[in-house]
Amino acid sequence: MHDLQTTLKARVSLSGTGVHSGQPVSIHFIPADPDTGVIFNLAENDGTTREVRALVSEVGATDLCTALGDRGGAYAATVEHLMAALSGLGIDNLIVELDGKEVPILDGSAATFVDAFDQVGLETQPVKRRYIRVLKPVRIENGASWAEFRPYTGTRFEVEIDFENPAIGRQAYAADMDAETFRRDIARARTFGFMKDVERLWAAGFALGASLDNSVVIGDDSKIINAEGLRYSNEFVRHKTLDAMGDLALAGARFLGCFRSYRGGHRLNAMALQRLLSDRTAFEFVEAGRRERGRRVDLVAVNAPVYAPWVL
């Protein structure tokens, strides 16, 4: 666990296509001061710009992706892969400028974001990082699906999926998460979908930019259509873990605890996070204590950060 907040050392930009809109889009990442959090500068329909904080309180939709803002105005869809990259690498403070309504899908994973941030590097800031420490179990269920937070000494994810399609089946991934684990196990896992769903999604205005360049596609014969195959034998559950990391990054601070889910998705992730944050007895904000002879003292409780989830 790192004690201090970070931002990027310099501005960096990426361009690509929105996976659902099919429209070209550019995104710019700008270093930010300590205690800023992650802020999206989004265009309103009248050409003005509105700041939208990357917080669960700003989530506007969870249909096949996580979106921030108001669909009728300032709006950013498909933020989860970017937010996973920020969380996975430990980037606390950043301004994100988007010239469209959707974060570019790039290769369908978080790998391109990671590469871009590595190019400019991270700057350590002289302000302590605050964490959300889970104090008691919090669980939410939706049919056969469920998600829960449990107390834990680090940051851990235990994600399980269960699809009838034999190309996926039942898969599980569990690990304590740090930057090295994220880079190795999670960052390159791509989004996925089924060929049989394509026409229905197109009719509903989704997946207009999806292709074999940015999605793992499963054919009607339950075979992987992508010529290169899978990046991991269990890439599907790793991508679901990536999604969960991105959705939970909207807490306003990284959490200390174990997040577990079964047959989860964006909506369930958001519901679980909202359930946790709605119970002030279920968590506390902490930061690293003082150092004595090079040894860090235990975490100590602190006031909520200015970008806490319920602060609008």
Mean pLDDT score of the chain: 92
3.40.50.300, 2.60.40.1120, 3.30.230.20, 3.40.50.720: CATH of 4-128: 3.30.230.20
pLDDT digits (tens, 9 = 90+) for 149-170: 999 999 999 999 999 999 999 9
Cα gap 32→237, rounded to integer Å: 33
Cα gap 253→130, rounded to integer Å: 6
CATH T-level assignment (fold) for domain 131-301: lpxc deacetylase, domain 1 (3.30.1700)
pLDDT digits (tens, 9 = 90+) for 43-85: 887 878 899 999 999 999 888 899 999 888 889 999 999 999 9
Give yes or no: 28 in active site: no
pLDDT at 20: 83
239 is in an annotated binding site: yes
28 is in an annotated binding site: no
* CATH 3.30.230.20 residue ranges for the chain: 4-128
* Stretch 280-302: mean pLDDT: 75
* Stretch 214-223: mean pLDDT: 94
Which carries the bigger pLDDT value, residue 182 or residue 18?
182
pLDDT at 308: 60
Interhelix angle 80-89/111-120, rounded to 10 degrees, is 50
Burial 273-282 (b: 16+ CB within 10 A, else e): bbbbbeeeeb
Structure tokens given for 93: 């403070």
pLDDT at 166: 95
Say what percent of the chain tops pLDDT 90: 77
Query: Active-site residue among 2, 20, 28, 266?
Result: 266
Say what percent of the chain tops pLDDT 70: 94
For residue 27, pLDDT beyond 80: yes
pLDDT at 312: 33
Which carries the bigger pLDDT value, residue 179 or residue 312?
179
pLDDT digits (tens, 9 = 90+) for 34-44: 999 999 999 88
pLDDT digits (tens, 9 = 90+) for 181-210: 999 999 999 999 998 888 788 788 877 888
Query: In the structure, what pLDDT confidence band is assigned to residue 306 with cuts at 50, 70 and 90?
Result: low
Neighbours of 228 (CB within 10 A): 8
pTM above 0.85? yes
For tokens 């302590």, what's the residue? Answer: 128
* CATH 3.30.1700.10 residue ranges for the chain: 131-301
E strand spans, 229-271: 254-262
CB 267 within 8 A of CB 261: no
Query: In the structure, what pLDDT confidence band is assigned to residue 311 with cuts at 50, 70 and 90?
Result: very low
pLDDT digits (tens, 9 = 90+) for 91-147: 999 999 999 999 999 999 999 999 999 999 999 999 999 999 999 999 999 999 999
pLDDT at 309: 58
